[in-house]
Structure 1
């Protein structure tokens, strides 16, 4: 037994976290591994015990792994999703103590000083941790000791708990890798015959410090508690939400808009403090009959200006059924993007896109932001593939097309015309109009992109001509040498 003032640290290590995150959503019976591209080579990032039994290991190239195990099932690793999953586990671990931090990319460290008695003691607390994590389908290794370094070493190379004051005797049998050293330093120590922590403890410190530097001494002191190591819990992300409760219910449009304006002021101030802007806002209105209605506002760009946001709520608020009255309003920024502070004034007079973004937002509230689209240049010399269409709210305008030859304002599928020869016809009919060629500029030869399948370009090369007609039409014609024929594909302004 020990008093509640004795520092106690627990380490939770999830050795197969990336794989088990994927297998929780979609179990696979076959050998499974995740791959990560490192230096232009796909290597094993994480694997299951079934794959390890077949001789596979982390760091092995994926080609070698498939040669060892043809039935290996693999997926690309997603470290960002693993980080989010570990953050969820960190929030869950706060049920045991308030001070929970990350330990690398696959572990957690908990300062459980004075909290183990709430679970019936340290053994009962560790048993509870194992049981809950096991039901979640994860592999867990635990270590509990007086210091963070000792808890980490125990979780990775021993597992279990060390009673207060017994760390030196228990940890002496662990390998030097348990000190959280770089792999190169571990190899250097092993070559000198220093294979365990006990070997280091019985060696004079001065020669070790001269040969291996201060890092080795620091890790030893952290392991034994001679050098304290802080456990810093992660700060919770800011919550961008405000609420207003009324003593008497309201129901008029002007009253609801006034309340929304009152909520927008502190919300935008908080967004400004965190240099962020709202892309999606949710206005929740609770009625006195306990019913509620929501007004969602999706913005074309990140905004934190109340004067610009308030008028955009007018359409949604106008369609709200207040019933017998609204007694509470809540405004929350559900999607937030970084919006750094920008220079304004005479030194930064540039065309502001705010009015265009507000127009896109207004139109998007009626037909949907995805339906307000813009053309963007694409890297292709084929006329039909030289542009893409993207939602204007989720794309940035490009500087423009880089084209050595003019392109028509209007493009349409090729329309055949009756003509012969390799030169543009002097007279031809197009869309029931008789046209006479006044001037022809060209040709511009465009070859098909052989690496893409396109039925429209199977005829091969095309020779394009810009044809000005006496009737005022300025057309874009092309001739196909392999399969002789003339077509109209565009019209200039």
Structure 2
């Protein structure tokens, strides 16, 4: 089932201009409008959030907007610059999120993310990542995903949520309560429908098509079918100018999985030749399969490191062939590397002379394309004595930082995200507990080592100026080993509550 994302940028023009001006842009709380000429009239073409809240709207005369809002910031619109920036944003989304991305002027993007969301932890996490990343650089955004472009477009613009996920095969029911303006109809058709008493999409779907088509033309029925997913709406993807790409057209359409796999191998071989010529290795591969019914199937795979190994890349792509629906046949295949990085040639070394380092990047690529890149990671040490701050997650194939794990005291193999409170009996200030109770089970301690005193990091916050923890490694009568600590030094109440906590488990 096709899944389409619509990314809506409600204040694209004003956000882009603020980002362009930087420190000299109007304050965020000051209403800003952009003005353009329509004939001899100067009309508002874009408004930011503050201007919208002040009652301004697109299409009103500029003089009226200035009269309504005192101190209004007015700047000239730059439609060509907006369109160029939207194309650049589409290229960014192409490299990061999906193999099929196109600009959806004047204020959005459309993406076919079928088979690509697993690389980002699922649809909802992928959409949230889009919105969050754009928000960090100053662009407000909303994103929606559905079975059709029309439905995703409607939910992104007419549902007041940052992220909207319409379940698979639920599009027809989901669009029923939406307003008719969400169908991307011309204003005159929307006005005519409202005169007749129609307000919601569900009301239109209940009516016979013939009278509506006779009065409003075929556009109304086409938009209804596109929103419901009954009529295909192809997306013409944007392509980077310098992308390494190969293609294969077929005189007779192909559909068998074995045939597709054979030609995938040939395309990968040709692509690797092109990558080698430029000194690149692929980090993303997009395989687009154009069906005879004007639909496009897509496969996206990623690699942890730059790669141009023919067998390895072919296997990653062929593992995804089962997700392709060839329909009545595929007439064109196009393979590209939208994300590629420099890869120097390697000299083959005889194993009799030098032993090669273990390379697990192939395994990382296989797992990452199955479960998602975001779910595959490793831990790297961080210079901190506080246990929960002494590590961080990094990509599985990321380079070593050179930092070493602390070796003066062992650390538990399993560290709790939040230390769990326990009841303990111990002599203060330096003795380990004789027993402790965790989750209703009392455990008598047979062996113990400690204390290891850990001080708070005073440069992070004032509350840690005097904070102290005393850690103990303990073993109960059953042989289970735990990592517990007392909050405080056992004497001064200012150093902590003197309560006991379980922070980790050994083994």
Give the alignment's TM-score, normalised by structure 2: 0.48
Q: Answer with 1 or 2: which has the greater Rg.
A: 1
Q: Which has the higher contact order (CA 8 A, sep 6+)?
A: 2
Give the alignment's TM-score, normalised by structure 1: 0.50
